[in-house]
Structure 1
Amino acid sequence: MSCCPPGSLPKLVATHKAKGDESTLPGTDLPVYVVGSGEKVVIHYYDIWGWNGGRTRFLCDTLADQGYKVVIPDFYRGQAWDDSPIEPGPVGKFVSQFPPDSIVKDTQAVIDHFKSGGAKTFGATGCCWGAWAIFACCASKLPISAAVSYHPALGLAAVFGSSPVELTSKVTTPQCLLPAGNDPADVKPGGEVVKTLEDNKVPVESKDYPDVQHGYMPRGDLSDPKVVEACEDAEKRTYSFFEKYL
């Protein structure tokens, strides 16, 4: 019931000068970061370090450069994991504050708002906890057309009495899974999550990066060529996947 497997990368302090703007979604108490423009909106679901941890906003700014409007809702309402060790008990207690129905409600509010402003289609990207949140939203049949998850932590489904396979069995949205070497086998090519999507005729692509650790996308050391290679390949796969399905 932890989000990060042993050997995962630690917290990274954000240093990127963000290009977008923060505001509160009209009619709600939900803070949002918005960058880019266009009729295709990508909602980003962050890791447990919150909406401005590590390279989260850099990743969203970079994706916006591809022609998307990218939105980071602050599902945690200002909270984030601190410097405490990543252990199942404390992590489970922390994420239990943000149950599936609250994530679905916030996501629906984002979709409704931007649809009223002219958005036509919605996609999703997520890291770690964010991948579980994406699957929860897709399982609830929200109008998300495609989703990409980096080092997904679907094991968090256990916090809410489910399992990765049970949660996945309710998903019909095309998924791209890009796990790290120390991530669970079920989200890697040939794993149970991937097989469940395939058995249900859901478009799925999966590529694992055995030479990098969980957290590589927003927190990996960019002085390490292997991390750079993984991040660049994951970005290319994200763009390609959205070109197909978004």
Structure 2
Amino acid sequence: WLKSMSLPAALDVHANRAFGLLKERGAVSIGALGFCWGAYVVFKLSAYGSIRAGVSCHPSLKIGRMFFGEEESEISLAKAVKCPQCMMPAGNDPDMFRDGTIAKAVQSSGSDCVVLDFPEMEH
């Protein structure tokens, strides 16, 4: 099912529609929360400059390569982020989320990144 979607292209259209409605109703600042591959959506919206902050629980950023034919690595995706992030990896998530690798990539673009590790939790 996911491979049949054109998420990267549709993301901006659908997100902007939702953000427009939120702004019409008075929202002045919008953030995003993603679980698992929803972290990819959070990071993409962060890279587009569409949101002011992102939170990713047990993050997975590899779906761009897996499902949409993107060449972008997790590191390059993180370096494109333009707003503060909080990542909450589980104990069996890849080390890059837990050891500061992704956080440093986010920080290299000038955005803050906090990692709250949940070592007892499983993805």
Length-normalised TM-score, structure 1: 0.46
- Does residue 92 of structure 2 align to residue 182 of structure 1? yes
Distance 1:96 1:165, change over 3 A: farther
Q: Which has the higher helix share?
A: 2
* CA-based RMSD: 1.5
- CA offsets per residue over residues 140-188 of structure 1, 9 Å max, x none? 221x111111000112132322111111111111000000011111111
Structure 2 residue aligned with 1:129: 37
Distance 1:135 1:95, change over 3 A: farther
- SS of structure 1 residue aligned to 2:91: coil
Structure 1 residue aligned with 2:103: 194
Structure 2 residue aligned with 1:109: 17
Structure 2 residue aligned with 1:119: 27
**Gaps spanning 5+ residues in structure 1: where?**
1-92, 215-246
Question: What aligned pairs does 1:212-231 form with structure 2 within 5 A after superposition?
Answer: 212-214=121-123
In structure 1, distance between residues paired with 2:48 and 2:29: 17
- Number of residue pairs matched by the alignment: 120
In structure 2, distance between residues paired with 1:153 and 1:198: 18
In structure 1, distance between residues paired with 2:119 and 2:25: 42
In structure 1, distance between residues paired with 2:46 and 2:108: 17
- CA offsets per residue over residues 86-117 of structure 1, 9 Å max, x none? xxxxxxx6245142121121111101111012
Question: What aligned pairs does 1:39-50 form with structure 2 within 5 A after superposition?
Answer: none
Query: Is this contact kept in 2: 1:180–1:213, CA < 8 A?
Result: yes
In structure 2, distance between residues paired with 1:140 and 1:212: 31
Structure 2 residue aligned with 1:141: 49
Structure 2 residue aligned with 1:158: 65
Instruction: Give the residue type in structure 1 aligned to 2:44.
Output: A
In structure 1, distance between residues paired with 2:20 and 2:96: 33
- Does residue 123 of structure 2 align to residue 207 of structure 1? no
**Bigger-Rg structure (1/2):** 1
**Gaps spanning 5+ residues in structure 2: where?**
none
Distance 1:153 1:147, change over 3 A: same
Query: Is this contact kept in 2: 1:178–1:208, CA < 8 A?
Result: yes
After TM superposition, where is structure 1 displaced by more than 3 Å over at least 4 residues in a row? none
**1:198, distance to aligned residue in structure 2 (A):** 2.0
In structure 1, distance between residues paired with 2:90 and 2:3: 22
In structure 2, distance between residues paired with 1:109 and 1:188: 34
- SS of structure 1 residue aligned to 2:23: helix
Instruction: Give the residue type in structure 1 aligned to 2:78.
Output: T
Give identity over the alignment, percent. Answer: 32
- CA offsets per residue over residues 72-95 of structure 1, 9 Å max, x none? xxxxxxxxxxxxxxxxxxxxx624
In structure 2, distance between residues paired with 1:162 and 1:106: 22
Instruction: Give the residue type in structure 2 aligned to 1:126.
Output: G
**1:126, distance to aligned residue in structure 2 (A):** 0.7
Paired residue for 2:78, among 168, 184, 193?
168
